[in-house]
Chains A and B, each alone.
Chain A
């Protein structure tokens, strides 16, 4: 994945995370996971996924959803599905 494409995805995800968690101070990094963010439960995870699907016009399959353990995983899957990986 080019650093430009990765940076674009992180920028888009930052906006989505800000909207979902109503927090401006969240700094996304690859290893950031639900354990690090209060209230990041399955409901928030769905909100994130739905926003990503809408933003990129993609659909995650169940294997991809189950493989998402942190932000880095999400970035990799988005890159793979949008052809920027």
Chain B
């Protein structure tokens, strides 16, 4: 539990859910843990600070055609119901936890009722005898967002002259004004396609939100220490990947198998990572650049606000959060949500297996529109 009352439980195999899972769970798998039977429970220490809390659960259901079109889930905190859902697809569920529900006990008991649990062997013939309902990936608890917490500081609106300069800015210079925080390397590759090669710790990294939040909170201390660096071969056996053990982010060193020895890559990363960490902390503190984040699935706004708050612990930064377009927000739209947060909409993301197949024109349009709202480092310094 963080000092601010935040808790992130990662249900992946290398996560921390062992500390919190009580009854009704299977063994963790690489990215998730299945519930077993009609009810499962978690326990965690009560946050120290009084207040209303937000609970966000990222999970996927066991569904099968017409036989199980959805899993019904009821969430209880210390016996009080706080949410009810029909889960038809992978989703991020949000619940509000009033303080009076948790203040009386030192440990908070979370109960998940999922009466539609079923055995795959009986539903679709898959040889799995477990009684499955929901696969939990992450659970995040944090104080309800206080707009005053991220308000204040710079949120300078550019002048008419700035707007003109931004329209005229060459695309490589435009894209140099941004820094990717993840979740994958799509935006870093968009910058490369524009001739922009900024130096960024997370530019080519896989950094899911819990990993990013933990890193920001810890100022990425320890990144690059020799015992925290793991070199792996990718699933397709073609390239190396680097894993930071402390925070859990993974990135491409862009070295093909056979091009270099894993120990040589490790030595190189021992030098590079502390340098990039130092630069990221400076960039966050100076708050000149606009940071970019896109989730690999739709992100709930409370979690993004949490990210903005964590970033603004360093300085008055601005985040461009990118999601898929919808009926009200065509691709290329950028809207200000609150101080330090812009939301952009894109027509499509690159497919997970090929981040190079990206929607370049719309990425550039989003960056130019974001600069019209928040300025660009070069126009700010002019």
Q: How far is the CB of B12 from chain A (nearest CB, A)?
A: 29
Other-chain residue from B200, B203, B271, B286 in contact with A63 (beta carbon distance below 8 A): B286
Residues from chain B with Cβ under 8 Å of A46 in the complex: 199, 272, 275-276
Task: Report whether A42 and B199 are in contact in the complex, using a CB–CB cutoff of 8 Å.
Answer: yes
Nearest chain A residue, comparing its CB with the CB of B176: A66
Interface extent on A, as a size class? 10 to 19
Write out the residue numbers on chain B whose beta carbons fall within 8 Å of the beta carbon of A43: 253-254, 272
CB within 8 Å of A: which of B278-315? 278-279, 282-283, 286, 288
Complex Cα–Cα for A43 and B377 (A): 23
Q: Please name all residues of chain B whose beta carbon is closer than 8 Å to the beta carbon of A50 when the two chains form the complex.
A: 271-272, 275
Interface 1/0 per residue, B344-382 and A, CB below 8 Å = 000000000000000000000000000000000100000
Tell me if A3 counts as interface (CB < 8 A to partner B).
no
B105 CB to nearest A CB, Å: 46
| Residues of B close to A66: CB separation below 8 A | 176, 198, 377
* Given A42-B197, A62-B283, A66-B176, A49-B275 contact (CB < 8 Å): yes
Nearest CB of A to B137, in Å: 31
Q: Which residue of A lies closest to B278 (CB)?
A: A59
Q: Which residue of A lies closest to B197 (CB)?
A: A42
**Among B197, B271, B278, B377, which residue has its beta carbon within 8 angstroms of that of A34?**
B197
Number of B residues whose C-beta is below 8 Å from A?
Answer: 21
Nearest-neighbour CB distance to chain B for A59, whole angstroms, equals 8
Contact A41 B192 (CB under 8 A): yes
* Smallest CB separation, A47 vs chain B (Å): 8
Residues from chain A with Cβ under 8 Å of B192 in the complex: 41
User: Shortest CB–CB separation between residue A39 and chain B, in angstroms?
Assistant: 10
B283: A residues at CB distance < 8 A: 62
Other than A35-B195, A45-B197, give 13 A-B pairs with Cβ distance below 8 A: A42-B197, A42-B199, A43-B272, A45-B199, A49-B275, A53-B275, A59-B278, A62-B286, A62-B288, A63-B288, A65-B279, A66-B176, A66-B198
Pick the 5 closest A-B CB pairs, nearest first. Answer: A42-B197, A62-B282, A62-B283, A42-B199, A46-B272
